[in-house]
Amino acid sequence: MKLTKQGYTLGGVSLLDVAREFDSPVYVYDADQIVANYHELKNAFKGLDVHLKYACKALTNINVLKLLRKEGAGLDTVSIEEAMIGLRAGYEPSEILFTPNSIGFSEIKEAVELGLVINIDELSTLERFGNEFGNKVPCCIRLNPHIMAGGNSHISVGHIDSKFGISIYQVPHIKRIVDSYGIRVNGLHMHTGSDILDAEVFLRGAKLLYEAARSFDNLEFMDFGSGFKVKYREGDVTTDVNDIGAQIVESFKTFCAEYGKDLQLWFEPGKYLVSNAGYLLADVNVVKQTTSTVFAGVNSGQNHLLRPMMYDAYHNILNISNPAGTERIYSVVGYICESDTFGYDRKLNEVRVGDILAICNAGAYGFSMSSNYNSRLRPAEVMIYKGKSHLIRKRENLDYLLENQVEIDLS
């Protein structure tokens, strides 16, 4: 986003014009920023056969998937529905990694029938997979390295109490199952969490995967997950992907030499690719002063952007209608019948009823975690592509809310 003489623009398009054309609230995504993020990360691992599998749970709009496919990305999916959207977007089944947890085996079978790359994170499922498919269908194994990453239990998924993955200490048990059923293990996977700053976290996990790899002779790839930290506010420390890249490249080359063949290195970036490319625009409905606080109440809420309430996440907020106004202190709140606060005590250029506020870094886990709570409608989505704004999802209406409800005769 840039502040010009004409106001705030995204990809050369006025954000106020977007709000006027498509109404608010509205999600807006900058396609150029998504593409730039993809190539920045890919270039950090030069010298290796690197495959970036976009973790599409961050933002599943089919146009975002098509955009990243055009750049060469694969997909990381966690549900059969995400995988089907990926297929609809044009991905080959072999480009889609299927990494679910706590699902029924019927969904695993459906993924196999679709030809997806199967990633298994539970011993009994692995045993059933072997019994069902033997050596006919390869699979990847998700290991839990027992590493706390990100410093937050909500976003750290590789610690000892996590539901994700098979314990690194259970590799001998995995090996017995694999040998008993002749399962072809073609990859090893780990994902420790989000907001990782230190290359040491990846290197520690990588070392454990390298050791586990000695138990499997026919690996084709190793997947280090993702978790690169993005910037949410001024002064935030972010992941130095070039530093991590240089260290991972060196360690992976050493491992491949010892293993006896060059493997593919996979990562699953989600937030890193789309977070800073997205903005949620919302109208100011009321400016309400109490004895202690001035509230700016907008026509959106936790139904559209859950992260501040669920994760206590910080999102920068800008008044794009009054960029030269005097700064004042506001708490920006939503219209849901909950304490849905986007930000406490924020310095904003003076806010007036009818102004448009832009909530930044809303590209990841924004629309994809939205809901119809309070029977509110989900907003439209717009992509700025090649200097033009394109509607990529229509705003919902009341018919959408009632479409699947079945009225019965209560007389």
CATH number at 382 reads 2.40.37.10
Tell me how far apart the alpha carbons of residues 231 and 355 are, in angstroms, rounded to a whole number. 26
pTM over 0.85: yes
Regarding whether 217 and 302 lie in a shared domain, the answer is no
Statement to judge: residues 82 and 185 lie in one domain:
yes
Tell me: do 112 and 254 sit in the same domain.
yes
Residues 21 and 131 in one domain: no
| Domain range for 293 | 2-28+275-402
Indicate the residue type of 31: A
> What pLDDT was estimated at residue 194?
52
In terms of domains, do 260 and 288 share one? no
Which of 5, 8, 72, 7 is CA-nearest to residue 41?
A: 72
Question: Out of 139, 256, 337, 360, which one is annotated catalytic?
Answer: 337
Total domains in the fold of the chain? 2
Q: In sequence order, which ranges of 23-122 are alpha helices (DSSP H)?
A: 31-43, 62-71, 80-88, 105-114
- At residue 147, the pLDDT reads 73
- Which residues 6+ apart lie within 8 Å of 74 measured at CB? 51, 52, 53, 54, 91, 95, 96, 97, 266
Examine the fold and report which residue of 269, 288, 319 is the final residue of a domain before the chain moves on.
269
In a domain, 408, yes or no: no
Burial of 32 (0-12, 13-18, 19+ CB in 10 A): middle
15 φ/ψ angles, rounded to the nearest 5 degrees: -70, -35
Question: Sign of dihedral through CA atoms 306, 307, 308, 312?
Answer: positive
224 lies in the same domain as 372:
no
Examine the residue annotation and report whether 360 is marked as an active-site residue of this protein: no
* Crossing angle between the packed helical segments 123-133 and 171-181, to the nearest 10 degrees: 10
Q: Are residues 188 and 311 in the same domain?
A: no
pLDDT along the chain (411 residues), means of 10: 89 96 97 97 94 97 98 97 98 97 94 98 95 96 76 45 84 96 96 64 84 93 86 75 89 95 95 96 97 96 96 95 96 95 96 98 97 97 97 97 95 91
pLDDT for residue 402:
96
What is d(CA 78, CA 119) in angstroms, rounded to the nearest whole number? 10
Do 241 and 309 share a domain, yes or no?
no
Task: Please identify, among 269, 295, 315, the residue that sits at the C-terminal boundary of a domain.
Answer: 269
Same domain, 157 and 294: no
178 lies in the same domain as 312: no
CATH number of the domain bearing residue 195 = 3.20.20.10
